[in-house]
């Protein structure tokens, strides 16, 4: 991995709760306020990138960062992208002390009272992912309550899947064209699933919110599935988000994705992409429509992303398919 990444063409804006992100904070709250006060440099932000509400991302450079006591405002996952530095931090338990290198990760759950956070003896570029509460199924939590998400306060661990997801999101911050909201939602969902599977308390406290929906424990029922599929068909040309599909099914994002796959055998992203590719095949039969227009009409963010998805599904490029049909 490269030691440095150029984010210079991006004009970063601070990540704030907009009222739509669902982090549990009031609108206007700076999600990375502790880093701003501690003196870190913001290199890139997902603000104004049209990513929707599944994940908000920042890349920050930390050099000699010192944060005094604070209460964590949001469920946050941090992944080191480049550089090396020593980290010392402490909440209720013993001090966590480790050398952070590319790939190492930390979790700081919402509501944790952190006594201090120090990054010193080096320089780190780190990806900070701020996650909404309802990504984990916390649907009924008052906005101003310090919800215990059940996640561990832990740092300095290496998890290949978490690293892979982080790198994919960081690459999107560099890309001129987003791969689409539903792809980013799926990455955020995969991250949430990993958190729930491996980084929960052994004996979590009773959550003040509703952690499990209680509305479905198996496959999506026929009525909900029909509503979701109808919504997909009606919006093939738009950039829909995973939380929109979950809202149609009246479920949290996490539980909707599981129930949808049980019902169809495919993830929402795979199913929606297949529908788009099927429509693209029909449009490619009309030679008066350019390949770029086909990509736009089927909701892909760019011709490049369309060609990649089409070839992955069909085995040949859109141009080759048109030539053969």
- Concatenate the DSSP letters of all residues of 205-229 into one string: PPPSS-SS-SS-SSSPPHHHHHHHH
Name the β-bridge partners of 90: 116
pLDDT at site 136: 58
Measured CA angle at 28 (ends 207, 39), to 5 deg: 95
pLDDT at site 13: 87
Tens place of pLDDT for every residue, the chain, 325 residues? 444 566 644 557 898 888 777 787 888 899 999 999 888 999 999 887 777 667 889 999 999 999 999 999 999 999 999 999 999 999 988 999 999 999 999 999 988 999 999 999 999 999 999 988 766 554 334 444 445 567 889 999 999 999 999 999 998 887 755 566 778 888 888 888 888 878 887 544 433 333 334 444 588 888 889 889 988 888 888 878 888 888 888 887 778 888 898 899 888 888 888 888 888 888 888 888 888 888 888 888 777 888 888 888 888 988 888 888 7
Alpha-carbon distance of 226 to 277, in angstroms, equals: 20
Candidates 2.60.120.10, 1.10.3720.10, 3.30.530.20, 1.20.210.10; correct CATH number of 33-198? 2.60.120.10
Alpha-carbon distance of 226 to 143, in angstroms, equals: 32
Alpha-carbon distance of 5 to 111, in angstroms, equals: 32
Secondary structure letter of residue 27 according to DSSP: T
Q: Where in the chain is the domain with CATH 2.60.120.10?
A: 33-198
Show Cβ contacts of residue 161 under 8 Å, excluding neighbours closer than 6 positions.
190, 194
pLDDT at site 7: 60
Q: Where in the chain is the domain with CATH 1.10.10.60?
A: 222-324
**Assigned fold of 222-324:** Arc Repressor Mutant, subunit A (1.10.10)
DSSP notation for 101-166? -TTEEEEE-TT-EE-EEEEEEEEEEEEEEEE-GGGGT--S--TTS-----B--EEEEE-HHHHHHH
Output the six-digit token pair for 83. 């550089």
Output the six-digit token pair for 41. 């440099």
What is the biggest distance separating any 2 CA atoms in the chain, rounded to whole angstroms? 67
Measured CA angle at 183 (ends 311, 26), to 5 deg: 165
Picking from 140, 144, 131, 241, the residue whose alpha carbon sits closest to that of residue 193 is 131
Picking from 265, 272, 266, 273, the residue whose alpha carbon sits closest to that of residue 309 is 273
Output the six-digit token pair for 110. 């919402």
CB 31 within 8 A of CB 74: yes
The rounded Cα 201 to chain-centroid distance in angstroms is 22
Output the six-digit token pair for 35. 């880093």
pLDDT at site 204: 41
pLDDT at site 103: 93
pLDDT at site 177: 55
R_g over Cα of the chain:
21
């Amino acid at each position: 991995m490269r030691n440095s990444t150029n984010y210079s063409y991006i004009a970063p804006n601070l990540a704030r709760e907009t009222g739509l992100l669902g982090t549990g904070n009031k609108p206007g709250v700076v999600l990375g306020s502790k880093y701003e006060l501690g003196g870190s440099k913001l290199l890139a932000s997902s603000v104004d990138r049209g990513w929707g509400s599944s994940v908000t991302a920042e890349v920050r450079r930390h050099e000699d960062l010192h944060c005094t006591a604070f209460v964590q405002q949001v469920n946050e996952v941090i992944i080191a992208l480049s550089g090396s530095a020593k980290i010392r931090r402490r909440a209720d338990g013993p001090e966590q002390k480790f050398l952070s290198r590319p790939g190492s990760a930390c979790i700081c759950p919402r509501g944790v009272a952190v006594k201090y956070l120090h990054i010193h003896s080096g320089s780190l570029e780190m990806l900070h992912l701020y996650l909404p509460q309802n990504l984990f199924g916390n649907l009924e939590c008052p906005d101003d309550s310090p919800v215990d998400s059940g996640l561990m306060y832990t740092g300095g661990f290496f998890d290949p899947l978490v690293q892979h997801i982080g790198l994919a999101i960081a690459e999107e911050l560099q890309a001129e064209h987003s791969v689409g909201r539903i792809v980013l939602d799926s990455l955020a969902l995969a991250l949430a699933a990993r958190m729930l599977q491996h980084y929960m308390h052994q004996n979590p406290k009773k959550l003040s919110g509703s952690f499990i929906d209680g509305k479905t424990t198996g496959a999506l029922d026929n009525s909900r599935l029909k509503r979701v599929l109808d919504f997909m068909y009606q919006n093939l040309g738009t950039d829909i988000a995973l939380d929109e599909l979950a809202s149609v099914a009246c479920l949290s994002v996490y539980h909707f994705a599981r129930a949808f796959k049980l019902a169809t055998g495919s993830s929402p992203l795979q199913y929606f992409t297949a529908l788009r590719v099927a429509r693209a095949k029909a449009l490619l039969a009309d030679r008066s429509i350019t390949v770029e227009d086909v990509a736009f009409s089927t909701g892909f963010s760019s011709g490049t992303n369309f060609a990649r998805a089409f070839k992955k599904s069909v085995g040949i490029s859109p141009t080759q398919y048109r030539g053969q049909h």
